[in-house]
Amino acid sequence: MEFALTENQEMIRETFRKFAEKELTREYVRWLDENCDFPPDDLRHKLADLGYFGIGVPEEYGGIGGGTVEMAIATEELATAGVAVAIGMGIVFIGGTRPLTEFGSEEQKTRYLPEIVSGEKKWSFALTEPAGGTDILGAIAATARREGDEYVLNGSKIFISGAHVADYILTVVITDKDTERKNGLSVFIVDAKSKGVTVSLIPKLGIHACGTCEVHYEDVRVPAENLVGVENKGWYQLLGTLNPERIATSTLSLGIANAAFRDALEYSKERKAFGKPIGQFQILQNYLADIAIEIENARNLIYKCAWLCDSGRRYDVEATMAKIVACRASEKAALWGMEILGGYGYTMEYDMQRHFRDYKQMMFSPISDEMSKNYIAQSFGLPRSY
Ligand SMILES: Cc1cc2nc3c(=O)[nH]c(=O)nc-3n(C[C@H](O)[C@H](O)[C@H](O)COP(=O)(O)OP(=O)(O)OC[C@H]3O[C@@H](n4cnc5c(N)ncnc54)[C@H](O)[C@@H]3O)c2cc1C
């Protein structure tokens, strides 16, 4: 058994850590949270120069290869510095590179992947609908009907991250109403500037620098060549991208936990009470030790899942567990981080309030804790509880 990263993986960690130190300073990340609804383009171009968007993309399409472990390493560094930046940048993997690489046509890969890798184009991923995200097969109502060499899309999506700045929105719709839902879904590349697409931002609690949107499609005409994969097989194709998404979101939670732990530890060494640094009080030491244990647990499980994924082994249950463990670590780090900072944690002067607002998004997106546990329990052979 080997836990060590390879030389190349260590280099990736070092590269992204240095990038984060230089480009994602605390002041800048705070400024982004207060002023932006998406990370600025120049950040994306700098990350493209580092090869970030090429991770996991075959070299013939401009990628640099690598896999889920490399992605987790780079993303952990970015998310620790600024989780909203990591999410804003990471959407292209879920909405673009992963689905295109896995089930896109040769023409689609050749046309779209190089412009994602170079940082030129932004993508978002539209699955969730207003009637429900957990029971997406029961809730989905958006449709596409074929008309000649086009499809006509109608419907609404909600909570779509980055749709307000996206060039393309990968959209999941019903193409066959008369069959079991999972056998009637298809995936389309929708040009975000198409006539009939309207996007509006939804104000939210945290992750301010990566906005989330409502998207409406009214008679949106999409060329038939924009169908990704096979018509009506969209659900099965997407399953291959939803599990990596669980690893990715676990890594985002891990980043928040790292940041909250770092800030709490620093503060506990500086702040004094009763003539001593507060970090000398046993109960605060216990808080910090417990956070560190949860972070270590989360990191181990996340990297194990990434390794399982890259080595072609099954990892769906482990990835679902990792999602819960990492969310809990970020929750504990943010809640106890607030305790450790006392009154200052509640002010806008310190970043702990941001970690406290940010961690919550990952608790239910892309899958809630409750649904994750349903999935894990079913893997033991127990009957579906719902
Ligand atoms: C900020 C943000 C960004 C997002 N980004 C994207 C994106 O880019 N693209 C995209 O497609 N979606 C996105 N989502 C959607 C996200 O995946 C959904 O919010 C999530 O799937 C939960 O769906 P819901 O919000 O409709 O909650 P619901 O499905 O209505 O669930 C409400 C509650 O009921 C519980 N529940 C439901 N069913 C069960 C059950 N069977 N057993 C036990 N409990 C149950 C849930 O666990 C939850 O506690 C985003 C959401 C947010 C808030």
Tens-binned pLDDT, residue by residue, of the chain (386 aa): 889 999 999 999 999 999 999 999 999 999 999 999 999 999 999 999 999 999 999 999 999 989 999 999 999 999 999 999 999 999 999 899 999 999 999 999 999 999 999 999 999 999 999 999 999 999 999 999 999 999 999 999 999 999 999 999 999 999 999 999 999 999 999 999 999 999 999 999 999 999 999 999 999 999 999 999 999 999 999 987 888 889 999 999 999 999 999 999 999 999 999 999 999 999 999 999 999 999 999 999 999 999 999 999 999 999 999 999 999 999 999 999 999 999 999 999 999 999 999 999 999 989 999 999 999 999 999 999 99
357 close to ligand 1 (CB < 6 Angstrom)? no
Counting atoms of ligand 1 from 1, which one is nearest the CA of 124? 8
- Give, using CA atoms, the residue closest to atom 25 of ligand 1: 133
Burial environment of residue 21 by CB neighbours within 10 A (0 to 12, 13 to 18, 19 or more)? exposed
Report the CATH number of the 236-378 domain.
1.20.140.10
Domain layout of the chain by residue ranges: 7-121, 124-232, 236-378
Q: b or e along 198-216 (b: 16 or more beta carbons within 10 Å of the residue's beta carbon)?
A: ebeeeeeebbbbbbbbbbb
Counting atoms of ligand 1 from 1, which one is nearest the CA of 133? 23
Report the CATH number of the 124-232 domain.
2.40.110.10
> How many A from CA of 74 to the centre of ligand 1?
26
HEC-encoded secondary structure of the chain: CCCCCCHHHHHHHHHHHHHHHHHCCHHHHHHHHHHCCCCCHHHHHHHHHHCHHHECCCHHHCCCECCHHHHHHHHHHHHHHCHHHHHHHHHHHHHHHHHHHHHCCHHHHHHHHHHHHCCCCCEEEECCECCECCCHHHHCCCEEEEECCEEEEEEEEEEEECCCCCCEEEEEEECCCCCCHHHCEEEEEEECCCCCEEEEECCCCCCCCCCEEEEEEEEEEEEHHHEECCCCEHHHHHHHHHHHHHHHHHHHHHHHHHHHHHHHHHHHHHCEECCEEHHHCHHHHHHHHHHHHHHHHHHHHHHHHHHHHHCCCCCHHHHHHHHHHHHHHHHHHHHHHHHHHHHHHHCCCCCHHHHHHHCCHHHHCCCCHHHHHHHHHHCCCCCCCC
> How many A from CA of 364 to the centre of ligand 1?
6
Beta bridge partners of residue 198, listed in sequence order: 216
Domains 124-232 and 236-378 share a fold: no
Helix crossing, 83-92 with 68-81: angle to 10°?
A: 150
159 close to ligand 1 (CB < 6 Angstrom)? yes
119 close to ligand 1 (CB < 6 Angstrom)? no
CA dihedral 112, 117, 123, 125 (to 10 degrees): 90
125 close to ligand 1 (CB < 6 Angstrom)? yes
361 close to ligand 1 (CB < 6 Angstrom)? yes
156 close to ligand 1 (CB < 6 Angstrom)? no
- Give, using CA atoms, the residue closest to atom 7 of ligand 1: 160
CA distances from 374 to 35, 162, 371, 379 (A): 39, 29, 5, 9
366 close to ligand 1 (CB < 6 Angstrom)? yes
221 close to ligand 1 (CB < 6 Angstrom)? no
Q: b or e along 257-274 (b: 16 or more beta carbons within 10 Å of the residue's beta carbon)?
A: bbbbbebbbebbeebeee
- Give, using CA atoms, the residue closest to atom 44 of ligand 1: 370
The dihedral region occupied by 31, where left means phi > 0, alpha psi between -120 and 50, and beta the remainder, is alpha
161 close to ligand 1 (CB < 6 Angstrom)? yes
- 7-121: in CATH 1.10.540.10: yes
Helix crossing, 83-92 with 26-35: angle to 10°?
A: 70
160 close to ligand 1 (CB < 6 Angstrom)? yes
Beta bridge partners of residue 65, listed in sequence order: 55
Under a CB-based contact definition with an 8 Å cutoff, are residues 270 and 301 in contact?
no
262 close to ligand 1 (CB < 6 Angstrom)? no
